[in-house]
Structure 1
Amino acid sequence: MGTGCGPAPDPTPDSPAWSPPQAVESSDAPEAIGPYSQAIRAGGTLYLAGQIALDPATGEMVEGGIEAETRQVMENLAAVLAAAGMDFGHVVQTQVFLTDLADFAAMNEIYGSYLAPPYPARATVEVAGLPRGAVVEIQMVAVDGP
């Protein structure tokens, strides 16, 4: 016998609260380099695709190592967040992918300069490789509203 204290059931396509996921795109961020959206809004949650350091104007990778790449990645993510009416204050979770964990401190310094407490939950992992020879990729999840 249930107590009624569990979570509310998820909305379904038949319920009035349900709305289909919507793509969020920004011309101020690089176009997707595969069959994916820059971000998907599902309810009040925004799922941002991983960004690498592509210059939105040229579609080419920025040069300058981990610092320049991390800065460009964060600018790309900021543009996608803005297209959804959000900013870094809405971000609740991030995943950082590095091709060399020796770059962690440099990435962390720049990453942290874009965020304020309470910082999002985060996982950082080393990977064997990233698209276009990138050394860093960052993916985010953001929420809208209280």
Structure 2
Amino acid sequence: MTTTNLEYLNPESACPAQGLYSHMTRVKAGEMYYVAGQLAVGADGGVVGEGDFDAQFRQVFKNLSDVLAAVGCDFNDIAKFTTYLVSADDIPHFMRLRAEYFPTKFRTKAFAPNTLLIINRLVKPEFRLEVEAIVRARD
């Protein structure tokens, strides 16, 4: 599927994607943004949703959306995500929430590639997930 500056690709010769992502993104030449991992941090600087994965997911993606909007971009400009979870037990929650959320943020049914990693912990032990992105700037 093609957005303005990106084309999400799933080659027929490749195995099926194992979730709501594409195997690769073709990025048309242009400026790129590398967005730092977003955490469940509220406007007051405090941790949002301690112990509540769903609340943290919503806050992380709100923060990512806010950062994108500040430079005139949205989810349709994302070339790639990297997602960090601190527990494999949260994978089903992540997949469910992403299935609900992504169709509301992307113009197409194809979504940016995503690498999902399970790690020991994040910067604060209260955080359950972190999401970073590579974004194609708009012309």
TM-score of the two chains, using structure 1 as the length reference? 0.65
8 Å contact from structure 2 (residues 48, 59) kept in 1: yes
Distance 1:77 1:111 in 2: 14
Aligned partner (choices 56, 66, 84) of residue 71 of structure 2: 84
Q: Structure 2: which amino acid aligns with 1:59?
A: G
8 Å contact from structure 2 (residues 73, 138) kept in 1: no
1:62 paired to 2:54:
no
Cα drift, residue 48 of structure 1: 0.4
Distance 2:48 2:77 in 1: 27
* Percent pairwise identity: 25
Q: Which has the higher contact order (CA 8 A, sep 6+)?
A: 2
Equivalent residue, structure 1, for 2:17 = none
1:126 paired to 2:118:
yes
SS of alignment partner, residue 124 of structure 2: helix
Cα drift, residue 145 of structure 1: 4.0
Deviations 1:76-135 (A, max 9, x none): 000000001000011110000000011012122223413433200110010000012201
Equivalent residue, structure 1, for 2:137 = 144
Equivalent residue, structure 2, for 1:71 = 58
Distance 1:111 1:77 in 2: 14
Aligned partner (choices 79, 101, 104) of residue 91 of structure 2: 104
| Total equivalences in the alignment | 103
Q: Give runs of aligned pairs for residues 5-84 of structure 1, distance below 5 A.
A: 44-56=31-43, 58-63=44-49, 65-84=52-71
8 Å contact from structure 1 (residues 74, 111) kept in 2: no
Q: Structure 1: which amino acid aligns with 2:132?
A: Q
Distance 1:62 1:75 in 2: 12
TM-score of the two chains, using structure 2 as the length reference? 0.68
Distance 1:123 1:142 in 2: 15
Structure 1 runs (4+) deviating above 3 angstroms are none
SS of alignment partner, residue 120 of structure 1: coil
Distance 2:65 2:129 in 1: 16
Gaps of 5+ in 2: 1-29
SS of alignment partner, residue 35 of structure 2: strand
Cα drift, residue 65 of structure 1: 1.3
Equivalent residue, structure 2, for 1:135 = 128
SS of alignment partner, residue 116 of structure 2: strand
